[in-house]
Amino acid sequence: MSKLTPIPIDYSWAFSDKTIKDTSYITHGYYTYPAKFIPQLASKLINDYSEKNDIVIDPFMGSGTTIVESLVNSRVGIGTDINEIAYLLSKVKTTALNTSELTAAFDALYDELFLFASNGDAHTEIPIQNMQRIDYWFLPSQKKTLLNIFSKICLIENADVKDFFLIAFAQILKSCSIWLQKSVKPTRDHNKKKYEPILLFFQQAKRMIKKNEEFNKILPNEVKNNIERYRTVEYGDSRKLPCKSETAKLIVSSPPYVTSYEYADLHQLPLLWFGHLNDLSNYRKKYIGSAYRNRDDIDLKSATADDIISKLNKHKKSEEVKNYFADMLETFMEIRRVLKKGGKACIVIGNTEFNGVQILNAEVFQEQFENIGFRTDKVIHREIPSKMLPSTRNILTGQFTKKHDGDLKLAYPTEYIIVMEKL
């Protein structure tokens, strides 16, 4: 059992009074990113542990929640992610666009696409790689319409406006495919309800235009007018942060779990369309924990990690778990490099289980930090009332389930926020 388990749950960190409207306010509602944390959580940590103009970093920025909240709270936001969709999304979510420019582009797309709908002629000027994989996921009629939408977006000259509409396009892809609805595993459903891509696309774009307007209103002018100074988002690895040594005040991040390579699977539809996915198994290797390196001699700097790995010894997951803790330790060393003395690293993480062995992520991370020059400031134990992860899921169908079947069980009913201070 985890040493952290007896820590009482602090219900003030559950934010259970927050509605979907609250958690998807401003640009947070642009895209359904798996396992994102709610903006209120990021904002509270930012306000508790940093001041205006401080540098706040998220090495695993995902959909950019920490970066958006940093900007809204007048902090300098820096983020990286190894997923191209996460990078594009974070960039779009932190770019306050001019509403009239967006509306003009929307109207032009609307005219062109409805014109196409009436004469039935698809324009496919944009070369698409991976057409076979696209055919696997999309019915011909929907593919044809999506191709048309995609090629029109690609012709938009203003890069920020183009990226904005690419995110609207990415958001509708799952609904317009035969990907089994609500499944987190790539599974096809040939009886799936067919949505009309053009209607979905314009509904989504319209919603996003409203949210962009809200973002414009809420973003402090000083940040909006100096966005290049306040925001750095990069496609890159958590172990190479775009930040000078000892300059950052705060890290707010929720790292991937051991099976983080599943993010590659989850995002494969937009990755395919945007030409980032030539070889899925190779693509997965850049994710934390999944690099197939031999780590036999590595000192994980955590007795708990060593214990977990010895318990998993005969299980196929033991190498993956070792790689995962090794990669996370390297990330923590990079965090130590960028943080100022007294700066805090707030890591949001839950524990998991493989084959009856508890993977005590929070405890391992805490030990690793303590062994590289940090002290524990606080450990918050919180409930996750609305997290997008299922408490359990069927590993064959990927559908959410109440039963505990299969050897892989994901259960995050509560999680920890470990607050570590650099000494």
Instruction: Please tell me the distance from the alpha carbon of residue 28 to that of residue 321, in angstroms, as a whole number.
Output: 31
Region binding ligand SAM by CB under 6 A among candidate stretches 59-67, 164-172, 223-231, 374-382:
59-67
Which residues are CB-neighbours of 376 under 8 A, at least 6 positions away? 366, 369, 370, 418, 419, 420, 421
82 makes contact with ligand SAM (CB under 6 A): yes
Which of 83, 171, 212, 368 contacts ligand SAM by CB under 6 A? 83
Residue 394, exposed/middle/buried by CB under 10 A (0-12, 13-18, 19+)? middle
Distance between CA atoms of 265 and 192, rounded to whole angstroms?
A: 20
Nearer to ligand SAM, 63 or 70 (CB): 63
- Least distance CB 46 / ligand SAM (angstroms): 13
Of 63, 272, 310, nearest to 186 (Cα)? 272
- Using CB under 6 A as the binding rule, whether residue 263 contacts ligand SAM is answered as yes
Closer CB to ligand SAM, 166 or 346, in the complex: 346
Judged by beta carbon, residue 37 or residue 137, the one nearer ligand SAM is 37
Report the nearest approach of ligand SAM to the CB of residue 150 (Å).
Answer: 23
36 binds ligand SAM (CB under 6 A): yes
Task: Decide if residue 334 touches ligand SAM (CB under 6 A).
Answer: no
List Cα–Cα distances, 289 to 79, 319, 322, 408, in angstroms: 20, 9, 8, 16
Work out whether 260 is an interface residue with ligand SAM (CB under 6 A). yes
Binding-site member from 13, 15, 25, 37 for ligand SAM (CB under 6 A)? 37
Interface with ligand SAM, residue 65, by CB under 6 A? yes
Tokens standing for residue 42: 């990021």
349 binds ligand SAM (CB under 6 A): no
Out of 256, 343, 350, 398, the residue judged to bind ligand SAM by CB under 6 A = 256
Q: What is the DSSP letter of 40?
A: H
In this structure, are strands 248-253 and 339-349 parallel, antiparallel, or unpaired? parallel
Counting contacts by CB under 6 A, is residue 63 touching ligand SAM? yes
Contacts of 262 (CB under 8 A, 6+ apart): 184
Beta bridge partners of 79: 58, 233
Q: Which of 54, 81, 320, 367 binds ligand SAM (CB under 6 A)?
A: 81
Q: Which among 58-66, 131-139, 243-251, 380-388 is the span making contact with ligand SAM, rule CB under 6 A?
A: 58-66
Q: In what order do the strands lie in the sheet with 231-235?
A: 231-235, 76-81, 55-58, 248-253, 339-349, 414-422, 374-383
The answer to whether residue 243 forms part of the interface with ligand SAM (CB under 6 A) is no
31 in contact with ligand SAM (CB under 6 A):
no
* Residue indicated by tokens 């980032």: 276
x/- map, 272-291, ligand SAM, by CB under 6 A? ---------------xx---
User: Counting Cβ atoms within 10 Å, is residue 75 exposed (0-12), middle (13-18) or buried (19+)?
Assistant: buried
How many residues contact ligand SAM, by CB under 6 A? 21
Residue numbers at the binding site for ligand SAM (CB under 6 A)? 33, 35-37, 60, 62-63, 65, 80-83, 86, 237-238, 254, 256, 260, 263, 287-288
